[in-house]
Structure 1
Amino acid sequence: MLRLDFNLVLTMINLVVLYLILRKFLFRPLMNIMEQRRTMIADGLQHAEDTKKEAYALKSQYESALGGAKEESTRIIGQAKKDAKAEYDRILDEADQAAGKLMKDARETIDLEKEKTLRDMQSEVAALAVSAAKKMVKQQYGADADQAAYDQFLKEAGDAHDDK
């Protein structure tokens, strides 16, 4: 059976006092430390979650910016192609105009040279004809006849040249 004596009461009192002392100096600080640690872990997890959400938001922004940059680069390349085509067409038109002008100038020069050559040939032919006529007339007539034949030839040569 159980006996209640004074030692048992003292042991019980000692246990209660020990419990109160441990509770005040060990359990409460330990619980406070554990609460702080739990709070710190919860804050760390919350901070990690917030950082993760922010990273996903930034990723979305960067992806949309990258998509926009791709569209912008495509637009810029298209515009550059249009500008290059327009410049190509302009240079080609200028070259065509310059070639046409050169051809026109060359034709005009050829025509002028042709006319000059024809005049020179007519003058030479006229001089040769006059010389031949002069020799023939000298043999048959005299100086007066030479002058009349020369005038007649110049008149006919001039009329032939004016008709052309």
Structure 2
Amino acid sequence: MDIVWSSIWITLLAFLILYWLLSRYAIGPLMSVMEKRRELVLGQLNEASATREEAAAYVEQQKEALQQARKDAYDIIEQSRQTSGKQADQLIAQAKEESVRLKDEALRDIESEKNKAMAALRGEVGRVSVQIASKLIEKEIDEKSNEGLVDQYLKDVGTKS
């Protein structure tokens, strides 16, 4: 087997020209596109990481806001309970005061009516006493008749009251 040096040189030269052409027009632009793609992917990863961190911070902020809202709602409910308790106590106190006032007023009215009835009874007793005395003076009677008049007087007083 003989080595043909001219074929080797031509093949080598063709290979170098082909390599130079490929690196200049194919591999170079392909590598620059690949580098741009790599940078784009890295940028998107960084952006996704930042977005994830923002989302986590936002979720945490929302949790805190929800906890604060729950606390505020609990405070409002507790304040409402206290206010309603105070109002209930005030209403009960007012009702007690009103019942005491009405009771006192009723007692005064009863006492007033009692005094009026006693005055009317005294007047009636006085009138009847005068009638009995005048009848006794008009007639002089014995003790049995006197008892009869007293009984009659008591019956009259009993039927009038």
TM-score range, shorter chain: 0.7 to 0.9
Residue aligning to 2:134:
134
Question: Would you say 1:68 and 2:68 are equivalent positions?
Answer: yes
Q: Could you tell me how far 1:46 is from its partner in structure 2? A: 0.8
Residue aligning to 1:45:
45
- The TM-score normalised by the length of structure 2 is 0.80
Instruction: State how 1:43-122 maps to structure 2 within 5 Å.
Output: 43-122=43-122
CA distance in 2, matches of 1:135, 1:79: 82
Amino acid paired to 2:42:
A
Residue aligning to 1:36:
36
Q: What SS does structure 2 have at the residue aligned with 1:3?
A: coil
Q: Could you tell me how far 1:2 is from its partner in structure 2? A: 6.2
CA distance in 2, matches of 1:112, 1:18: 135
Q: Could you tell me how far 1:37 is from its partner in structure 2? A: 1.4
Deviation readout 1:30-77 (Å, 9 max, x if unpaired): 111111111111111111111111111112111222222222222222
Deviation readout 1:10-38 (Å, 9 max, x if unpaired): 22221111111111111011111111111
CA distance in 1, matches of 2:117, 2:111: 10
Q: Could you tell me how far 1:4 is from its partner in structure 2? A: 4.4
Question: 4+ residue runs of structure 1 moved beyond 6 angstroms?
Answer: none
Structure 1 pair 2–55 and aligned structure 2 pair: CA distance change class (3 A): farther
Aligned length: 140
Which 5+ residue runs of structure 2 have no aligned equivalent? 141-161
- The TM-score normalised by the length of structure 1 is 0.79
Residue aligning to 1:20:
20
